[in-house]
């Protein structure tokens, strides 16, 4: 909780506030009950201002909570800051922990001394990180000369250099191209698999969530409104698939083939309107299978090719961001996943 000044608009409001201060209490996070097991990779998502970064700062020991209790591997972060810092790593997409004017290799060597990393462990980790993250070409450059993708890879190496038990990743792939994003995702998965590192990921990149995490936590206005398996929330709110087919010949009144099936809809997309040989059908994957759809179309004409758009978590998160998702429904889903 923090106090927020309440001011009237304009110069008059500013002058008035000098003599008569008014404040209102605002909760950045409120009533959060969150437990993360060792080795989990958890996506912690929500709209801007929902309380994600505040949570990370409290877990890191940077902020002191106004109430409640926080423990990270048995430690109270804001009371045992040195011990807590020794067992965590952090990557912030908008900031770097590298020294700006010295080569990356020297920044990592300084972090080795700060965290008292044994020489053998440092060499082993440097060899692994350099290979997986492809850092050899820029280890001699200073941080100020790195591209964004190079800096993010170097920051990941810095965060994991001392083999932390827990790593907080705040927008680790923001602004990166597809190739660098995938390299970073592969590295995160490899560290989780081989080192058992616990990862808490906050991101707006839904590709990160689907590629890295099995568990999803959604926070909104400082409260957790969903905590459960990513697949469970997809099954509940992302049931629909769309199958796109290329036909050998056009078919009239194709919809009559699906009248006995519920939740089957012909999609009037641009491709089907411009090309009579293109057909897109949206269906509920729990009421009908893709093979059933294709079989019925093939009874009318030959299907040359097809592809299926799988259900995505994207539209769920977007609906939460836009305030269109009933939080009580999400909470019910969360309890059902527990």
Residues 21 and 168: their CA atoms lie apart, in Å, by 38
Q: What tokens appear for 133 in the block?
A: 């993250």
Instruction: Count how many domains the chain has.
Output: 3
pLDDT tens, 134-183? 899 999 999 999 988 899 899 999 999 999 999 999 888 877 788 888 88
Considering the domain boundaries, does residue 332 fall inside one? no
Provide the CATH number for the domain around residue 98.
3.40.50.300
One domain for residues 20 and 56: no
**Do 57 and 8 fall within a single domain?**
no
**pLDDT at residue 26 in the model:** 60
Say if residue 71 is in the same domain as residue 194. Answer: yes
C-alpha 198/C-alpha 210 separation (Å) is 17
pLDDT tops 70 at residue 274: no
User: Is 234 a domain residue?
Assistant: no
Q: Quick check: is 231 in a domain?
A: no
Instruction: Please indicate, yes or no, if residue 117 is contained in any of the structural domains.
Output: yes
pTM: 0.74
Q: Are residues 76 and 207 in the same domain?
A: yes
Q: Is 29 exposed, middle or buried (0-12, 13-18, 19+ CB in 10 A)?
A: buried
Rounded-to-integer distance, Cα 225 and Cα 233, Å: 12
**Shared domain check, 184 and 36:** yes
Same domain flag for 95 and 152? yes
Provide the pLDDT for residue 23: 59
For residue 272, the model assigns a pLDDT of: 57
Check whether residue 289 and residue 160 sit in a common domain: no
Q: Which domain holds residue 283?
A: 239-309
- DSSP characters for 258-285? GTTSTTEEE---HHHHH-TTEEEEEEET
Per-residue model confidence as pLDDT tens digits over 223-240: 888 888 888 877 777 778
| Helix pair angle (178-195, 148-160), 10° resolution | 10
Domain boundary, last residue among 162, 179, 213: 213
Indicate whether 43 belongs to any domain.
Answer: yes
93 falls within a domain: yes
If asked whether residues 96 and 150 sit together in one domain, one would say yes
- Residues 168, 256: one domain? no
Looking at the structure, tell me whether residues 196 and 140 fall in a common domain.
yes
Same domain, 45 and 18: no
Residue 312: what pLDDT? 64
Which of 213, 231, 266 is the last residue in one of the domains? 213
**Residues 128 and 271 placed together within one structural domain of the fold:** no
**What is the pLDDT of the chain when averaged over all its residues?**
82
């Amino acid at each position: 909780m923090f106090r927020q000044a309440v001011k009237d608009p304009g110069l008059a409001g500013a002058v008035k506030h000098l003599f008569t201060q008014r404040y209102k209490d605002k909760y950045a996070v409120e009533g959060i009950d969150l437990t993360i097991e060792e080795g989990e990779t958890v996506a912690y998502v929500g709209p801007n201002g929902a309380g994600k970064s505040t949570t990370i700062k409290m877990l890191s020991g940077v902020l002191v909570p106004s109430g409640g209790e926080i423990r990270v591997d048995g430690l109270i972060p804001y009371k045992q800051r040195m011990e807590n810092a020794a067992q965590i790593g952090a990557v912030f997409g908008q900031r770097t922990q590298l020294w700006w004017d010295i080569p990356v290799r020297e920044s990592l060597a300084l972090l080795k001394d700060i965290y008292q990393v044994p020489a053998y462990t440092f060499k082993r980790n440097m060899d692994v990180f350099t290979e997986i993250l492809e850092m050899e070409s820029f280890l001699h450059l200073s941080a100020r000369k790195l591209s964004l993708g190079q800096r993010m890879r170097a920051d990941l190496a810095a965060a994991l250099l001392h083999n932390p038990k827990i790593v907080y990743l705040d927008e680790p792939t923001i602004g990166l191209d597809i190739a660098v994003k995938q390299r970073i995702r592969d590295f995160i998965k490899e560290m989780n698999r081989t080192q058992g590192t616990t990862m808490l990921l906050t991101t707006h990149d839904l590709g990160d969530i689907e590629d890295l995490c099995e568990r999803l936590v959604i926070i909104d206005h400082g409260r957790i409104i969903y905590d459960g398996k990513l697949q469970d929330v997809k099954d509940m709110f992302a049931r629909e698939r769309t199958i796109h087919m290329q036909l050998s010949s056009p078919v009239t009144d194709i919809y009559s083939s699906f009248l006995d099936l519920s939740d089957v809809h012909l999609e009037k997309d641009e491709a089907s309107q411009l090309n009579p040989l293109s057909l897109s059908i949206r269906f509920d994957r729990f009421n009908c299978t893709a093979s059933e759809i294709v079989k019925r179309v093939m009874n009318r004409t030959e299907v040359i090719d097809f592809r299926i758009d799988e259900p995505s978590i994207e539209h769920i998160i977007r609906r939460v961001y836009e305030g269109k998702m009933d939080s009580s429904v999400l909470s019910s889903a969360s309890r059902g996943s527990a």
